[in-house]
């Protein structure tokens, strides 16, 4: 099967099912987009969620929006999408650590090489579109090139003076305020934006405390450019982002019995849990067109992120997972957790300071020789990032349901280390187009150095008395090719093959067994049709891993060391189907009433190909057998959207289905949470359906009212048993608001 698929992939076409529908009054800067208007010539699968659709959805939660794209797997966590867990084509979803995350074409994870877990994620409400890349189209965008890349495009600079304001209020005190203004002049353009989104939270603390968040975000872009008549076109763009967030969020979920009684409950032991986050970003982009068809875009960037997620660690000397596994046997600790009995609570803060800096240059040259079109693209990026990690454990006393600090911890008494990485990444891609055939070979190179300094838990001053260090260097070439053949103007077949890669993370200072690089040969084959308002794309993919890596993070159910584990060969394959059709296109020739239907379906089959003893982490300990399913990868995902649109009004109903999802490697019977089922015996989270609704009405020129409703049927469902215990999806919630363009 593999040989056949490779042969077909190298002999058929490769393209994209993507559409960009940009507002007429804005200019999307070429230096920040990946797909842009050339999406249909991209050498691999990709999709654009354009501004018009985002405006219709009125959805600040990126999780819900991404589910309209096939091949995207998302695990909800806190219900508002502030820290999404995203995977592409079967990559692990935990903290989006196995995909390349970008904003305006620049890496945006806090430390994408040294510590890639994306605890910081940009405020989605200020994004005007989203680009998703899969297959060989992502060769240019690393370091994570097995599953794919996600690029968020922030508010762009308008062509003339424009402004936008948005205000909303809804369930649980959830409120949003957004305003931006921008303008373009002869040589100077700008846009400035302010966002705030906050909520009291839908979870209910035993002591009636706040379970919500308050996130504030400021973004600005200032651009100088040459006169429109200048022979040498240049521009220089300065961008900055400042974000702060206070979130009363916990890692701790519920036992099944407590979930059944009240899925929105939060235990007393979580009353002090809080996330403090600050993020600052600045970038300077220079764009120049020295010759016709030749452009150079260079960006220098710097970012710093501080994150301290303080939370309950152990209760009455028992681990949280032990209490969840058997609350009867650990009844004393359970009663302390619920605030019904006095006792000790160990509380741990996890302060981490991330820094990122780098410079990247991308070149593009287009040349026509007779009937052959050539496009040469090349780029290089030098990047450094660092994660400075302190974890401090303190002791509280639970007294009559209230936690009182008794023993403040010494900074770093549970973790004290610095992780660093340096990378030089480069790529070259050549697109050859002759009549109906396009061939796109390319190659990527990554050279990375990792360093870790572990000071131990007794050296908070970092004098080096117990310092352990380790380093690792790697260099890898990643070739790929895509081929596209247009059978008709409205029909094409496509395919591609590329070698994908994920870095191995930090070298271990405690064991001689080191994680290897994660590599896979990735193949895709597809068909695309677009005629008379009916658009569809069907893609099959096959990812053959030489070495798949497991990880150890508390957020994924592990111990929190951050170590990576070799799991050997694995196979992840599947199919992606997308359909778009205006049901009224034949009945309403004037197109003033539309009923768009959208369908996105993903099937994924993910299995280990060899038997091994797992060293720990998110996949647990013990023997994992050949043929076991890889956990946390949902086999069946389905989203359908049905809308009704006129010139003044539109409404969209969204139906989302997430199938049964294994949480433990295995092949046998699926065991979901239920009565008399022990926590540690559960190996699957049951599937669920959720329906959302959004509506917009323009009652005055440039002014619209909107309504969004999540979980229309108020379905009570478990989204995950991670990080610790069962977590609910958001219950029924309504938000109403106003939007004004001026």
Q: Which of 281-295, 341-355, 505-519 has the lowest mean pLDDT?
A: 505-519
Distances in Å between the Cα of 419 and the Cα atoms of 120, 275, 305, 416 are 17, 21, 14, 10
Position 8 scores a pLDDT of 33
Q: Which residue has the higher pLDDT, 564 or 693?
A: 693
Q: Using alpha carbons only, what angle is made at residue 739 by residues 736 and 740, rounded to the nearest 5 degrees?
A: 155
pLDDT, tens only, 78-125: 999 999 999 999 999 999 999 999 999 999 999 999 999 999 999 999
CA 19, CA 39: separation in Å to the nearest integer? 7
Q: Residue 514 — very low, low, confident or very high, per pLDDT cuts 50/70/90?
A: confident
Q: What is the mean pLDDT of the segment spanning 182-195?
A: 98
Question: Phi then psi for 38, rounded to 5 degrees?
Answer: -95, 20
Instruction: Please give the share of the chain, as a percent, with pLDDT higher than 70.
Output: 93
Work out the pLDDT band at 21, boundaries 50, 70, 90.
very low
Could you read off the pLDDT of 118-150 as tens digits, one per residue? 999 999 999 999 999 998 777 899 999 999 999
How do residues 576-597 score in pLDDT, each as one tens digit? 999 999 999 888 777 789 999 9
Is the pLDDT assigned to residue 20 strictly greater than 70? no
Q: Is the peptide bond before 546 cis (omega within 30 degrees of 0)?
A: no
Kindly indicate the confidence band of residue 617, based on its pLDDT and cuts at 50, 70 and 90: confident
Q: What is the CATH class of 2-741?
A: mainly beta
What is the rounded average pLDDT of the residues 174-190?
Answer: 98
Please state, rounded to an integer, the average pLDDT across all residues of the chain: 92
What does the DSSP assignment read for 472-497? EEEEEEEEEEEEEEEEETTEEEEEEE
Question: Which tens digits make up the pLDDT trace of 310-347?
Answer: 999 999 999 999 999 999 999 999 999 999 999 999 99
- Decide if pLDDT at 7 tops 80: no
CB atoms < 10 A from the CB of 629, how many?
21
Q: Cα-flanking dihedrals φ and ψ of residue 294, to 5°?
A: -125, 120
pLDDT score of 137: 73
Report, as an integer, the average pLDDT of 274-297: 97
Average pLDDT over residues 402-418: 97
Reported as a single tens digit per residue, the pLDDT across 636-688 is: 999 999 999 999 999 999 999 999 999 999 999 999 999 889 999 999 999 99
Helices (H) and strands (E) in the chain, counts: 6, 41
Radius of gyration of the chain (CA): 25
- Least Cα distance to 306 among 280, 273, 331 occurs for 280
Mean pLDDT of 519-527: 96
pLDDT band at 12 (very low <50, low <70, confident <90, very high): very low
Indicate if the pLDDT at residue 565 is higher than 90: no
Contacts of 104 (CB under 8 A, 6+ apart): 29, 31, 32, 151, 152, 153, 154, 239, 283
* Whole-prediction pTM: 0.93
């Amino acid at each position: 099967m593999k040989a056949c698929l490779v042969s077909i992939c190298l002999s058929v076409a490769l393209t994209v099912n993507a559409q960009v529908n940009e507002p007429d009054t804005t200019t999307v800067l070429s230096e920040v987009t990946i797909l842009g208007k050339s999406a249909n010539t991209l050498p691999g699968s990709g999709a654009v969620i354009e501004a018009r659709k985002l405006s219709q959805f009125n959805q600040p939660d990126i999780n819900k929006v991404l589910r309209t794209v096939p091949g995207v797997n998302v695990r909800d966590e806190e219900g508002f999408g502030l820290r999404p867990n995203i995977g592409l084509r079967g990559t692990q979803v935990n903290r989006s650590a196995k995909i390349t995350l970008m904003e305006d074409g620049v890496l945006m994870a806090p430390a994408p090489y040294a510590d890639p877990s994306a605890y910081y994620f940009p405020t989605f409400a200020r994004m005007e579109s989203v680009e998703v890349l899969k297959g060989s189209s992502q060769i240019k965008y690393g370091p994570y090139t097995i599953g794919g890349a996600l690029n968020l495009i922030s508010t762009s600079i308008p062509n003339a003076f424009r402004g936008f304001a948005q205000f909303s209020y809804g369930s649980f005190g959830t409120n949003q305020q957004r305003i931006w203004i921008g303008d373009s002049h002869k040589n100077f353009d700008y846009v400035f934006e302010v966002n705030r989104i906050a909520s009291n939270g839908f979870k209910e603390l035993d002591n009636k405390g706040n379970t919500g968040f308050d996130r504030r975000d400021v973004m600005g872009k200032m651009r100088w450019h040459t006169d429109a008549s200048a022979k040498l076109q240049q521009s220089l763009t300065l961008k900055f982002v400042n974000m702060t967030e206070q979130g009363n969020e916990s890692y701790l979920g519920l036992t099944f019995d407590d979930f059944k009684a009240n899925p929105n409950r939060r235990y007393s032991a979580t009353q002090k849990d809080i996330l403090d986050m600050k993020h600052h970003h600045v970038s300077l982009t220079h764009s120049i067109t020295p010759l016709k068809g030749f452009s150079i875009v260079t960006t220098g960037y710097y970012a710093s992120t501080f994150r301290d997620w303080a939370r309950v660690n152990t209760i009455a000397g028992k681990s949280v997972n032990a209490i969840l596994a058997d609350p009867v046997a650990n009844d004393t600790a359970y009663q302390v957790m619920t605030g019904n009995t006095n006792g000790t609570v160990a509380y741990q803060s996890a302060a981490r300071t991330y820094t990122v800096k780098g410079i990247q240059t991308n070149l593009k040259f287009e040349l026509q020789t007779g009937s052959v079109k050539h496009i040469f693209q090349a780029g290089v990026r030098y990047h450094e990032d660092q994660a400075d990690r302190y974890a401090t454990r303190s002791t509280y006393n639970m007294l009559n349901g209230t936690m009182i600090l008794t023993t403040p911890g010494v900074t770093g008494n549970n973790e004290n280390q610095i992780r660093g990485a340096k990378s030089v990444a480069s790529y070259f891609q050549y697109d050859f187009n002759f009549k109906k055939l396009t061939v796109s070979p390319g190659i990527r190179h990554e050279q990375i150095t990792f360093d870790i300094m572990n000071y131990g838990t007794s050296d908070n001053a970092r004098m080096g008395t117990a310092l352990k260090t380790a380093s690792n260097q790697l260099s890898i070439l990643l070739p790929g090719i895509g081929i596209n053949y247009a059978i008709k103007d409205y029909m094409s077949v496509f395919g591609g093959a590329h070698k994908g890669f994920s870095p191995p993370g930090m070298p271990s200072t405690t064991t001689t067994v080191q994680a290897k690089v994660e590599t896979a040969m990735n193949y895709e084959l597809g068909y695309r049709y677009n005629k008379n308002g009916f658009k569809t794309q069907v893609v099959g993919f096959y990812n053959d891993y030489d070495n798949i890596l497991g990880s150890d993070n508390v957020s994924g159910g592990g111990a929190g060391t951050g170590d990576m584990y070799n799991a050997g060969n694995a196979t992840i394959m599947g199919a992606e189907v997308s359909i778009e059709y205006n049901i009224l296109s034949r009945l309403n020739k004037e197109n003033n009433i539309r009923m768009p239907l959208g369908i996105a379906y993903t099937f994924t089959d993910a299995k280990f190909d060899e038997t091994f003893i797992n060293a720990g982490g998110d996949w647990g300990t013990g023997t994992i057998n050949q043929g076991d399913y890889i956990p946390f990868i949902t086999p069946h995902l389905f989203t359908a959207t049905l809308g009704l649109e006129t010139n003044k009004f539109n409404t969209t109903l969204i139906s989302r289905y997430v199938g049964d999802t294994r949480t433990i490697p295995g092949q046998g019977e699926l065991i979901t949470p239920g009565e008399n089922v022990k926590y540690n015996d559960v190996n699957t989270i049951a599937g669920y359906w959720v329906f959302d609704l959004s509506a917009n009405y323009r009652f005055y020129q440039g002014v619209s009212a909107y309504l969004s409703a999540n979980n229309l049927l108020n379905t009570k469902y478990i989204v995950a048993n991670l990080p610790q215990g069962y977590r609910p999806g958001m219950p029924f919630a309504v938000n109403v608001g106003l939007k004004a363009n001026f």
